[in-house]
Homo-oligomer: A and B are copies of this chain.
């Protein structure tokens, strides 16, 4: 069953995809969902909480997609596949990505929960990669933070036009992810095939 709340979130995402952040107005969201321009106030305390719900939904879908990609894949490859999935998501949906990691002035419990769930799934993949000898040892949470920072930064810089798009230094975010694994793998004490 699709609640009005869900429909409002979906409408916001559609407007975001079509016209960028400026196109997401409560009035237009209401119009697209077939309700008045302040019906949203019965479901979200203000506009930013609607946007936080959008961000939470994106994060949840991204986490689910990552877990789905892991199934039936060798443990040594799962993490890299998750990171490449993250990169593809960011590059495919720039406005969603920028919104999700925007400058929140409010604390949304919903968004915080989705962020924690995503981090947990990611740390699990790091633990498996370490066990498979694809990553060096050490505190997995901390190594996870490093890997996530690289993937996130590569996408964010690319979307902002701060990655050189030409010449020898040309590197796509996905290349940088691969590079990092290339650097880290030799530091591993192989433990299993």
Contact = CB atoms under 8 A, between A and B. Distances in A.
How many A residues touch the partner, as a band? Answer: 35 or more
Given A94-B103, A95-B103, A141 B168 contact: yes
Nearest to A94: B103
A144 B167 CA distance: 14
Interface stretch (A6-14, A27-35, A150-158): A150-158
A142 to B, nearest CB: 5
Interface string A154-187: 1011011111100111110101100110011011
Given A123-B169, A139-B168, A176-B149, A103 B112 contact: no
A101 interface: yes
A49 interface: no
Interface string A137-149: 0011111111011
B160 A145 contact: no
Nearest to A59: B162
Closest 6 CB pairs of A and B: A141-B169, A153-B153, A149-B153, A152-B153, A149-B154, A98-B103
